Each structure stands twice: as C-alpha cells, then as structure tokens.
Amino acid sequence: MTSTREMFSRARIPYGTWGSSFFPAWQTSALAEVNIGQFAGEAMNRILSLRKVPTTSLDYLILGSTIPWHWKFWTAPMIASCVDHRIPGFHLEQACATGLQAVIVAASEVHSNANDVVGVLTFDRTSDSPVGVFPERRAHERTMALADVWDNLGFDPATGNAMLSCAGFAARKHKTDRREVDELTMYRYEQYFNAKDSGLLDNVLVPLEVLNVQGKPLGMIDSDKGVRKLTYDMLQVMPELDDCVTGGTQTHASDGMATLLVTTKEKAQELSSRPEIDISFVGKTEMRTYPSLMQESPAMAVQKLLKKTGLTMDDMTVVKNHNPFAVNDVIFSKLLNYDWHKINNTGCPLVWGHPQGPTLTRVIIEALEEAVALGGGYVLIFGCAAGDVGIAAILKVTDGAK
C-alpha cells in the first residue's frame, strides 16, 4: 500500500453509526406521500437509536438534497427538530454529487474544529416533485414552470442536452459496445442480489414504517421496490433510447434517505460499536469535462485524484461509484484500465435507483461496510453529477485489531 498524506486529519467516520433507508422506485411506496425532509429527520433518529448513538452527541447537521421539500427555507434546524435534537446546520446540494460532497464538508467542519460531531443527512423524493414557477420577463414565455425532477434531467441549460443524450455522446466517443454494456448491467444485478443474500446490506439498510396523519401504518419501506431480476435476453431486446442506453442500462428514479456521522478520532471510538475500526479521509477532487460528456467525467476525476494522492488503482480495496448509466462503468474501465468486475461488489445506483441526494451517501456506506468486511484498505468512491462534473474521494479503513 502506497503511503500518502491525510486529508482532514482530525476527521473520522465512526464505523457502524450509519444507515440508509431502502430506495423504493418513485411512486411505488409510502414515501411518495410524505414530506421527505421530515421523514429523513425522523428516520435518522431511529437509525441512530438502533446504532446506540444518542442524538444528543451531535452538535451540527449538514443536509444534502436536490429536490425542494416543504419548509425547505428552515433548512437543517427544522430537520434537526425532526431528529429530536435542536442543533444548527445548513443545507447543501450539488445534484448527484450531493451525497459525497456533504460528507466531505462535514469532515471539513470537524477538521477546522468548528464542530466535533457532525451528522450528514441526505435525502430526496423524486415522486411528485414540486413544480417551480419562475417569473422571467426577458424570456419569451414570460413565466416558466419547471417540474423539478424531469425537466432538469431532460435539459442542461448550458448545453441544451438531456442526461440521456450525454450518455449517448459519451458512448459514441469511447466506442462502447452495446453487448459489453448489457453484460456489465447483468453483472451489476448479480452483484446486488448476491450482496443482499450475503447479509452484508443488513448493516446498511434499515426497514422503516411510515405512518399516516392518523398515526396508522401507511406502509413499510423495507425493500428497494422496483428492482427486479433481469435476464440477459431481456436486456438484449430492449430498444436503445440512445447509443448503448436502454431502459435496462440506466437507473430509475427513487425516493430515500441515508445518514452517517463525521467526528473526531476520539469521539469516533466512543460512538462506534467497533472502536478498533478507523475510517479517515485521504483525498477528494472534482473535474468538469467537455459539454455533454458527463459519463467520462468520473474517470477523469479519479485520474486526477490518484495523481494528487500518489495512489494507484491497485492500492484500492473497494471501488464503488454512482453510475446512473452502465456506460459510465465501461468508460471508466477503459480510461483507468481497470476491470469493471472489480467495481460495485455490493450493488450500485444503476440497480437500486437514483434518489439524487442520498445516492452517493449510500454508496459510501456500502463501500465502507465492504472494506471493513475485507479487513480494511483504501476505498475509492466516485460518480457523475449534473453539469458534466465528476467527483471522487478516497477514504482509508484501518482495522486496529489486525
């Protein structure tokens, strides 16, 4: 393992204090009926309870979400009230990079000694997203109405292109093969179902019951509803929406939340059920590629990060990414010369969905669980985000008992 510098040397992620809801596909669960901010706050409280972490140990809260929710103006203090602990905090968003960016910002809060225990809470509800009305007198429409999820995914104002078109552009540029994309997709599904069967995801995903206004059960959020077992034949016959992009080789919209804590080394040992596990930050970077080539940007961000840290892909124990399109992984494999079979061992957003804000947080949590199960090592997390941006970070897991 190559020796490298530490980023945010004061900050640690306490093992096992995290959790995520399942991510049911949009419009399929009780999450379509709730204020997702309130749900996320209450769910975080429940998850921390299951992890034996008193909410009173938190002193700051960083929210990450991309779709407006009711009373968003009141930002983290309001959600902290739903966690049942009145602390300050703020809200950030960076499209699908939100789930990683929020963790990095939390680490900077701890490292700068501004706060000692920072909760990261990311969430989004793609179901029934709000419609924004923008009075803009210079536009020919005079007033524009924007459906927050679909109108955004379908139109990058800087390029005029949809996300899906970007995938097609990138596939063409990198000459990806439809057959390889389908094979990769099949493999990703196998990875997900194998991880589920192994029980590893039980440490990540928390079943939660949603109540209606009368306090009666409205529904259980206890599966990534909408994920079905695909066959290669099914994938092959799906029509292409753009080059190498079919209904099967892209993700789907979903709802959910995910949470973890960032704190000091000492406090991490106090809060964690396994104090011998140390999780530190090594580095993070972002890249923006040429217009409408978003799917190649994560690979470029990883290249930049490896250069900065002096690490190589061979140093990585776990590699995991946010891959809304299967072509992301094929392109990454080509550019980094890295076997895509070694990525996303426990599942990925291509399979379990795309609720935007919490997506990369769940990726991080799954990756850290996998790294701990493997005895520690470097963990590479990366993904793409709106604006042709790629984000990447490396964490280091050390098992003191080994």
Q: Which is nearer to other proteins, 81 or 398 (CB)?
A: 81
Residues 6+ apart with CB under 8 A from 345: 191, 195, 318, 320, 370
Q: Which is nearer to other proteins, 206 or 330 (CB)?
A: 206
CA–CA separation, 144 vs 162, rounded Å?
18
Which one, of 61, 104, 66, lies nearest residue 391 by Cα? 104
State the minimum distance, in angstroms, from the CB of residue 209 to other proteins.
Answer: 4
Q: Which is nearer to other proteins, 49 or 198 (CB)?
A: 49
State the minimum distance, in angstroms, from the CB of residue 21 to other proteins.
Answer: 9
State the minimum distance, in angstroms, from the CB of residue 70 to other proteins.
Answer: 9
CA–CA separation, 176 vs 171, rounded Å?
5
DSSP state of 160: S
Q: Which is nearer to other proteins, 34 or 372 (CB)?
A: 34
State the minimum distance, in angstroms, from the CB of residue 351 to other proteins.
Answer: 25
State the minimum distance, in angstroms, from the CB of residue 117 to other proteins.
Answer: 14
Sign of the torsion formed by the C-alpha atoms of 70, 71, 75 and 81: negative
Q: Which is nearer to other proteins, 214 or 337 (CB)?
A: 214
Residue 393 in 3-state DSSP? strand
Write out 67-136 in H/E/C secondary structure. CCCCCHHHHHHHHHHHCCCCCCEEEECECECHHHHHHHHHHHHHHCCCCCEEEEEEEEECCCCCEEEEEC
Which one, of 369, 233, 255, lies nearest residue 21 by Cα? 255
State the minimum distance, in angstroms, from the CB of residue 356 to other proteins.
Answer: 20
State the minimum distance, in angstroms, from the CB of residue 83 to other proteins.
Answer: 8
The answer to whether residues 95 and 151 touch, using CB atoms and an 8 Å cutoff, is no
Q: Which is nearer to other proteins, 67 or 82 (CB)?
A: 82
Q: Which is nearer to other proteins, 133 or 213 (CB)?
A: 213
With 0-12 / 13-18 / 19 or more C-beta atoms within 10 angstroms meaning exposed / middle / buried, residue 202 is exposed
User: At 78, phi and psi to the nearest 5?
Assistant: -65, -45
Angle between the N-to-C axes of helices 297-309 and 326-336, in degrees from 0 to 180, rounded to the nearest 10: 40
State the minimum distance, in angstroms, from the CB of residue 48 to other proteins.
Answer: 6
Q: Which is nearer to other proteins, 174 or 225 (CB)?
A: 225
With 0-12 / 13-18 / 19 or more C-beta atoms within 10 angstroms meaning exposed / middle / buried, residue 141 is exposed
- How would you label 220-247 residue by residue, b for 16+ Cβ within 10 Å and e otherwise? ebebbbbbeebeeeebeeeeebbbbbbe
DSSP state of 248: S
Binding residues for other proteins, rule: CB under 8 A, are 34-35, 38-39, 42-43, 45-46, 48-49, 53-56, 81-82, 84, 208-211, 213, 215, 217
State the minimum distance, in angstroms, from the CB of residue 286 to other proteins.
Answer: 34
Q: Which is nearer to other proteins, 216 or 229 (CB)?
A: 216
